[in-house]
Structure 1
């Protein structure tokens, strides 16, 4: 666990922020902290505009530079180490542990693969060839220079790179190879992907199921503008009659593609709360990351409720499910046509869990605001990042002026692990406010990447053996 440290976030004022007071901007756009905090931070000069202390009533203008000096508390990650599998003058290949992001993002900086490698192996600058979700484990390729990174980028863009993952899913996955062509759309606000869907009368469900299983593909002009073509092949490796170990081979790279395709087929990853249930709490309401918000259950829409209302959520866009054996029993694949899942929720235990997590999340600072749509790139972001993907972060001990100012910011009281900041919304706790300690690595693991004349592999995780 990383000790809290001082940090400065920088960002440019967006056009839609222009005309707001600096306090209103922060209170409305970054609700992970109370308004009173931002008022005090502006008065103390922790929030500045163009490097100058301003009044809380100061009105910002487009493209101005804002800075936010904070006492940063990084969320803990699981204890797994970043294992170096192969190292050379141009490349380093590692096994990424689950819950650790690839690169600094959101509330994570020192607890990232790139920062850990620099601290432990003095690797210098690294360029990720591909990315993995924060909760995903497995093979990660990093280039040591831009020339090598450009080589891999060209290989990926040319479509010659083959990717393999392994997942543990709920249910008995079909023995035959399954190829799913289903357009994926990513919601950056909620951090969740879906297969393009629209409401359909319940009486059309049977026709839709039959068409889907025959490989029919239906598109609309609206879907062309929003969704992205996606294709994944799946092959069952083993099953115990309850869960299955499945090899996943994405032919395209969309955010959460494997996770949402498995959900769509009716075999979601067995511990993936974000896609296990049809209805999950939205992160914009829970004020936390998408995966953590999903642990707060909502009352689901059951199949019986769908029939009563004569409405079901049906996938109608770019759906093409191919099975290698046409004799496949349709009873194994009834789920793809219906996006709602008949999950067992709403009992007393889960209701108590929801109340507990809602209380934890009420004033949470962790908030995932990242809008990247790169393949398998959904680092669970949050915290004080002003403008994800644009912000420049500078550690306080790299800025002499901030070093001088630290004395007025920091309390003289010291807890056993770190110096307490009286204005910090996390202190005196080491973990950030709202962190419940329930992070769990997904049962999704990258095992192999190969290209024109290269192959890198990673050992299987224990749950897949």
Structure 2
């Protein structure tokens, strides 16, 4: 199977761009460029090629496998399951799928132990339709078949999935509700981070509504309109109130927990059954215990 990727950035090497987007090693990318498993605009390319917005990259998907992903007996908090999909309440600290430097302990490792029924549209992340950052907890949907995976992909692309996140922000946000509209792209100086940029960026909008104000913090619900990498974390920093304990966009204060960001509501129409599904997940214990002390 060949995966097609449309480039949305300028002025970055092909190997570096793909390593960032696909969360894999540059050495694996470089090897596959040489072996012509990766083409740009259907033509052979080189690792040092500087990509342009609109370029189309074709990747033979099996070529991205670095090592076999092994099942692991890891406990899962399953909120819902039928013959088509699974909704899981992911723990903070769990990576969603293996990458070049992470081979075990991921959600994919756990899923492969739990069931053999997972979509394989993307061989290196079976079943995974969308992602949550490692330290973001909460609801994530998993596809059991390729058909349901494609249908769920369409719902996300068409913005027909309601995703609400609960976050604890540093400081007092003085506006009760609104929409943050600021384009996001990869940070020019640190490719693992995202930033608000006018160029080489994508439109990004996030709704917000204050739940409760504390002396030095604000509890907020964020609803994604678009779904960019680190969107809520970047937008929160942009408005001057970063997410508490975020190790990337502010100072991490706790070693046992990541950013206080939780995927609390997931709502969509079942692609096969056509029923409206609404899922809610309570805050993790460390999150709720912390705000109870405020």
TM-score category (smaller protein): 0.5 to 0.7
Distance 2:34 2:185 in 1: 25
Distance 1:226 1:86 in 2: 38
Work out whether residues 117 and 145 of structure 2, in 8 Å CA contact, stay in contact via their aligned partners in 1.
no
Work out whether residues 138 and 281 of structure 2, in 8 Å CA contact, stay in contact via their aligned partners in 1.
yes
Bigger share in helix: 1
- Look up the match of 1:193: 194
The correspondence of residues 198-217 of structure 1 with structure 2, limited to 5 A, is none
Work out whether residues 186 and 255 of structure 1, in 8 Å CA contact, stay in contact via their aligned partners in 2.
no
The correspondence of residues 317-336 of structure 1 with structure 2, limited to 5 A, is none
- Look up the match of 1:444: 261
Distance 2:132 2:66 in 1: 29
Distance 1:10 1:173, change over 3 A: closer
Distance 1:68 1:268 in 2: 36
Of structures 1 and 2, the one scoring higher in RCO (CA 8 A, sep 6+) is 1
1:456 aligns with 2:279: yes
What displacement does 1:233 show?
A: 1.0
- Look up the match of 2:177: 177
- Look up the match of 1:250: 224
1:117 aligns with 2:111: yes
The correspondence of residues 7-86 of structure 1 with structure 2, limited to 5 A, is 13=31, 81-86=75-80
Distance 1:157 1:11, change over 3 A: closer
Distance 1:239 1:106 in 2: 41
Instruction: Indicate the RMSD between aligned Cα atoms, in angstroms.
Output: 3.1
Secondary structure of the 2:249 match is: helix
Work out whether residues 169 and 242 of structure 2, in 8 Å CA contact, stay in contact via their aligned partners in 1.
yes
- State the number of aligned residues: 215
TM-score by length of 1: 0.42
Which stretches in structure 1 are left out of the alignment for 5+ residues? Answer: 1-8, 18-64, 70-79, 197-222, 278-294, 296-436
- Look up the match of 1:153: 153
Distance 1:142 1:158 in 2: 18
Deviations 1:22-59 (A, max 9, x none): xxxxxxxxxxxxxxxxxxxxxxxxxxxxxxxxxxxxxx
Distance 1:115 1:124, change over 3 A: farther
What displacement does 1:87 show?
A: 1.4
Deviations 1:148-173 (A, max 9, x none): 11111111112222110001111112
- Look up the match of 1:93: 87
Distance 1:155 1:171, change over 3 A: same
- Look up the match of 2:202: 228
Which stretches in structure 2 are left out of the alignment for 5+ residues? Answer: 1-26, 36-62, 68-73, 119-125, 270-275
What displacement does 1:105 show?
A: 1.4
Distance 1:110 1:183, change over 3 A: same
What displacement does 1:459 show?
A: 2.0
Distance 2:255 2:100 in 1: 18
Distance 2:128 2:284 in 1: 22
TM-score by length of 2: 0.65
Bigger share in strand: 2
Secondary structure of the 1:266 match is: coil
Work out whether residues 93 and 142 of structure 1, in 8 Å CA contact, stay in contact via their aligned partners in 2.
yes
Distance 1:151 1:187, change over 3 A: same
- Following TM superposition, the consecutive aligned residue runs of length 4 or more in structure 1 with deviations greater than 3 angstroms are 9-12, 14-17, 437-440
